[in-house]
């Protein structure tokens, strides 16, 4: 990219970038170019095995810097860990059933939300482990949750067919999203925080207005249960994965169907955009993954080599690597452009169903 031309283009559309801060923007873009151009031959090695819980894990998540991570478990707790030392910092206790969905309020990372089969969501302090609020109102298990980027709301999706938005400051329910006819198992805020999508076993994805709780669009087209749904970074597109073996792209503003990405021979278990929204990765029960170009909708790489279904797939923040977790007891690292396997991460003795990169992209956690 021509840096000067890009900065001029940014200036045209953004009145806040005045002549006085133009130099700073130029510096930032040059730094970004350098970072993207860095050659990366980072090899991961097994650093620590954490016998985290007495019962299996459900999910793992990093804070933005990667200094802390959390694990949820069937043992009804969530544990907070120091990444550098592998030490357990605290145990968040209080749920009366499986702690299934967990998240930090990134980019801040000072709060943790836990969603449980006990039908409640709890909000905790990362530093002290104190429970700020217990959100009650769902009539069935909570299976997914997410903070908005502004860290003012936490959303929970439940087997009771509803999603709820909770006000973090007030500690109370802000709005209930009603309209699905079956369980909600995926939800995702857009970057600006004014929209949220919910994916359901009723084969549809709904787009909601966060402020009013009004349903704006229903994305109809899948012929099976939805497994995952996500906005791209600039909030223009939505990607959905389904048990019908397809992945679909939708216009986020109008709710219209843009494309169907086919090629898998079994259920799609996970889908994601890279941070720039240029590529889409899909993971399937057929044991393979695929990478698609979001603009051309073409499959640009196939991810093949796992000996079992791939339940989780994610890009590193830079977008040049893909991490997959599989039932074959391995996690693997792939080149996002070619689909070539760079590394096999071994050490687990059972299926891996959760994995994550830290923001810098130099640490991975895998959970089984």
Pick the more confident residue, 266 or 276: 266
- Within a domain: 314: yes
What is the average pLDDT value for the chain, to the nearest integer?
A: 95
Give the pair of three-digit tokens for residue 147.
């903070």
| Distance separating alpha carbons of residues 316 and 357, to the nearest angstrom | 6
pLDDT at site 144: 98
Q: Answer whether 281's CB lies under 8 Å from 290's CB.
A: yes
- Within a domain: 359: yes
| Distance separating alpha carbons of residues 225 and 107, to the nearest angstrom | 31
* Size of the chain, expressed as the number of residues it contains: 368
- Within a domain: 278: yes
pLDDT at site 34: 85
Q: Answer whether 113's CB lies under 8 Å from 103's CB.
A: yes
Give the pair of three-digit tokens for residue 144.
């997914």
- Within a domain: 168: no
pLDDT at site 162: 98
pTM: 0.92
Range of the domain at 283: 263-363
pLDDT at site 147: 98
Nearest alpha carbon to residue 168 among 135, 142, 139: 135
- Say whether 172 sits in a helix, a strand or coil: strand
- Within a domain: 340: yes
What is the phi-psi region of residue 28: left when phi exceeds 0, alpha when psi lies from -120 to 50, beta otherwise?
alpha
- Within a domain: 296: yes
Check pLDDT > 80 for residue 38: no
Count structural domains, the chain. 1
| Distance separating alpha carbons of residues 90 and 98, to the nearest angstrom | 18
pLDDT at site 35: 80
Confidence at 19, pLDDT banded by 50, 70, 90: confident
Confidence at 267, pLDDT banded by 50, 70, 90: very high
Least confident of 228-237, 283-292, 301-310, 356-365: 356-365
- Within a domain: 285: yes
Check pLDDT > 80 for residue 57: yes
Check pLDDT > 90 for residue 52: no
Q: Answer whether 358's CB lies under 8 Å from 343's CB.
A: no
Q: Answer whether 113's CB lies under 8 Å from 105's CB.
A: yes
Pick the more confident residue, 199 or 22: 199
Chain position carrying tokens 């709904």 = 206
- Within a domain: 300: yes
pLDDT at site 18: 86
CATH number at residue 348: 2.40.10.480
Q: Strand 257-261's sheet: what is its strand order?
A: 226-231, 237-242, 247-251, 257-261
Check pLDDT > 80 for residue 41: no
- Say whether 325 sits in a helix, a strand or coil: strand
Confidence at 17, pLDDT banded by 50, 70, 90: confident
- Say whether 246 sits in a helix, a strand or coil: coil
140-183 residue pLDDT tens? 999 999 999 999 999 999 999 999 999 999 999 999 999 999 99
Nearest alpha carbon to residue 200 among 229, 236, 230, 231: 229
pLDDT at site 1: 83
């Amino acid at each position: 990219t021509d840096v000067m031309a890009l900065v001029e283009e940014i200036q045209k559309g953004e009145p806040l970038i005045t002549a006085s801060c133009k130099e700073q923007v130029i510096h930032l873009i040059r730094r970004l170019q350098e970072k993207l151009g860095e050659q990366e031959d980072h090899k991961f090695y097994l650093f620590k095995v954490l016998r985290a819980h007495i019962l299996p894990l459900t999910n793992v998540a990093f804070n933005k810097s990667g200094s802390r991570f959390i694990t949820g478990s069937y043992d009804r707790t969530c544990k907070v860990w120091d990444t550098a030392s592998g030490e357990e910092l605290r145990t968040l206790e209080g749920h009366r059933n499986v702690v299934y969905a967990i998240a930090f309020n990134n980019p801040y990372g000072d709060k943790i939300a836990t969603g449980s089969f006990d039908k409640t969501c709890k909000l905790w302090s990362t530093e002290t482990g104190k429970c700020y609020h217990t959100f009650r109102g769902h009539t069935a298990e909570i299976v997914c949750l997410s903070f908005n980027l502004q860290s003012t709301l936490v959303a929970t999706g439940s087997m009771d067919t509803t999603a709820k938005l909770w006000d973090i400051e007030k500690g109370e329910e802000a709005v209930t999203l009603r309209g699905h006819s079956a369980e909600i198992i995926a939800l995702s805020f857009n970057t600006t925080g004014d929209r949220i999508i919910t994916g359901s076993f009723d084969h549809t994805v709904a787009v909601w207005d966060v402020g009013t709780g009004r349903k704006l669009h229903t994305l109809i087209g899948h012929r099976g249960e939805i497994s995952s749904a996500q906005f791209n970074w600039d909030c223009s597109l939505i990607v959905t994965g389904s048990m019908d073996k397809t992945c679909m792209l939708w216009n986020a503003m109008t709710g219209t169907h843009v494309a169907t990405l086919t090629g898998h021979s079994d259920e799609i278990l996970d889908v994601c955009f890279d941070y720039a929204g240029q590529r889409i990765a899909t993971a399937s029960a057929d044991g393979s993954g695929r990478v698609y170009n979001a603009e051309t909708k073409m499959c640009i790489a196939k991810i093949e080599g796992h000996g079992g279904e791939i339940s989780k797939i994610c890009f590193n923040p830079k977008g040049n690597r893909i991490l997959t977790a599989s039932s074959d007891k391995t996690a693997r690292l792939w080149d996002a452009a070619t689909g070539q396997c760079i590394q096999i991460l071994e050490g687990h003795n059972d299926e891996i169903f959760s994995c994550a990169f830290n923001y810098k992209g130099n640490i991975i956690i895998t959970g089984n």
